[in-house]
Chain A
Amino acid sequence: MTIKKKPNYNFIIGSILTGLIVALALVSLVYTPYDPDAMDAANKFAGISLKHPMGCDNFGRDIFSRVMEGTKNTLFVALGTVAIGTVFGILLGAFTGYFGGILDEILMRINDAIFAFPSILLALVIVSLLGSGKYNVMIALGIAFIPSFARIVRAEFLKNRELDYVKSARLMGAGSLRIMFVHILPNTFSVLASSVMIGFNNAVLAEAGMSFLGIGVQPPDASLGRMLSEAQTYLFSTPSYAFFPGLVIILMVLGFSLLSEGISQKSV
């Protein structure tokens, strides 16, 4: 007998949106309709047309090409951020959760201290130390993201280390590292997966925010946040300049949110 399941709409719609955005970014690696940085004085503020589906900006650059390029940069920074946050978060959470004791106390208090800062603020401080630019933003946001991942992983390790399968592994003679990363870690993935998606979301917003403030991706590289900040001067004369990058950010965040919701529904 099979129980009829309600389709997981969150997961389906989330996957489609995320898929489209990622496809847009991947295509930009090999093809954009125009060179995203090519200026064309004749097409300054050109409206929406077949030649320029999203119009042109104040330098006559094709907005569609720049949105593709910007999506790629934003996703790239978000990916790097989440990667740094997850890897170090897992390491930190695994060691503190598994061993406990003094080390746990010290590291988690430091963690709390970092956690207490809003992540953008912390990233701003780090960027002001490292300097701006794509990679520094990645590192800064990555550091700001470590505590939340560390907490999740630590909680899972605390829960799992008391279970009999861990005792059984110890009796077989498995070492601590093997127990931590081969036996326990895979059991944290379902919880981790949905928080990675949420983390992705926050990273996209944080990157857009930092680029908007001018300390993220540097010109001439396109980034969605940077385009928004450049577009605000022309908000009333050329609304399409701000509309499309904003739309892509919204769809991206919506896609990741739905996907994360869908994943947590799936694992229940």
Chain B
Amino acid sequence: MSDVILEVNQLNTYYKERGEKKKHVCKNITFQMEQGEILGLVGESGSGKTTLVKALLGMVKDKEGAIKLNAKMPQMIFQDPYSSLNPSKKIGWLLQEPLRIKGGFTKEEREKKAYEMLKKVGLNDNIFNHYPRQLSGGQRQRVSIALALMLEPELLIADEPVSALDVTIQAQIMDLLLKLKEEMGLSILFISHDLRVVYKMCDRVLIMEDGEIVEQGKVEEVYKNPAHPYTKMLLEAVTTV
């Protein structure tokens, strides 16, 4: 068995809107994630996927339970490539920003690393001086991936990274993520509501319903023999379409 990169034990989170009753969002979430695996997280909107991610990143205050992260600062890729890149900055500036914040790099070093990263995600050098609005959705998502990888994280959280893209572009981005995973030894927590995408990408999968993990296991096994009625329902929805 390889090393465990993320261990979540009995995680509960609560959410309270002003003037409303406290809501119990994530309920007794327990799972492990191994080094180098792609773990799928599947569930409908409102099932608590995003809250779970926020909790993992330390953005939820009201929580109980243990989150053990054996990795440097995890980075994230967002669903909407239009709001995840700052519209007023050039791509080159954006890619250098993580290094600028971290400090200890000269301008030449930063630019060199940014160009290398552009190449890695399959983008042209000339994009360096473009603004995000000049790029297509697929190109933007590649830039987001490049941005997330600038600090060489061990854990990458991808929040529906392909849901907003065309099907052909989806395939390209998925291939890119798989390639980068091999090259950089990434572990990816891959969030999606599209079971076909999860089938292609992931080693193991967590099925979430109403804040609980109702089923988890290897993708093939879960898809072949869904144990929980909710998983069956999700799979049936895919096959009927």
B-binding residues in A (CB < 8 A): 163-165, 167-169, 171-174, 178, 183, 186-187, 189
Contact = CB atoms under 8 A, between A and B. Distances in A.
A171 B76 contact: yes
Given A164-B78, A164-B80, A167-B76, A172 B86 contact: no
Nearest to B150: A172
B156 to A, nearest CB: 11
A143 to B, nearest CB: 29
A168 B84 contact: yes
A29 to B, nearest CB: 35
B12 interface: no
Interface in B71-124: 73-76, 78-80, 83-89, 97-98, 101-102
Contacts of B127: none
B73 A173 contact: yes
A171 B75 contact: yes
B97 A167 contact: no
B57 interface: yes
Given A164-B78, A171-B57, A173-B73, 8 more contacts: A165-B85, A169-B86, A171-B75, A172-B98, A172-B101, A172-B150, A183-B89, A187-B88
B73 A164 contact: no
A171 B151 CA distance: 10
A163 B151 contact: no
A163 B102 CA distance: 22
Contact of A168 (B79, B88, B102, B147): B147
B102 A173 contact: yes
A101 B199 CA distance: 43
A183 to B, nearest CB: 6
Contact of B97 (A163, A169, A186, A187): A169
B150 to A, nearest CB: 8
Given A172-B98, A172-B151, A178-B101, A164 B75 contact: no
Contacts of B59: 167
B97 A174 contact: yes
Interface of B: 57, 59, 73-76, 78-80, 83-89, 97-98, 101-102, 144, 147-148, 150-151
A164 B83 CA distance: 6
Contact of A165 (B57, B83, B148, B151): B83
Contacts of B78: 164, 167-168
B84 A164 contact: yes
A186 B87 CA distance: 9
27 contacts: A164-B78, A164-B79, A164-B83, A164-B84, A165-B83, A165-B84, A165-B86, A165-B87, A167-B78, A168-B84, A168-B144, A169-B86, A169-B97, A171-B57, A171-B73, A171-B75, A171-B76, A172-B75, A172-B101, A173-B98, A173-B101, A173-B102, A178-B101, A183-B86, A183-B89, A186-B89, A187-B86
A174 B75 contact: no
Given A163-B83, A187-B86, A187-B87, A168 B76 contact: yes
List 9 A-B pairs, minimum CB-CB distance, nearest first.
Answer: A164-B84, A186-B88, A164-B78, A172-B98, A165-B86, A163-B83, A164-B83, A187-B88, A173-B101
Nearest to A182: B97
Contacts of B83: 163-165
Count chain B CB atoms within 10 A of each CB in A167, A178, A189 and give the residue with the most. A167
Contacts of B98: 172-173
A169 B59 CA distance: 13
Nearest to A184: B86
Nearest to A166: B86
Given A187-B87, A187-B88, A172 B97 contact: yes
Count chain A CB atoms within 10 A of each CB in B102, B147, B150 and give the residue with the most. B147
A104 to B, nearest CB: 14
A173 B85 CA distance: 16
A173 B83 CA distance: 19
A178 B100 CA distance: 11
A172 B98 CA distance: 5
A171 B74 CA distance: 8
A172 B146 CA distance: 13
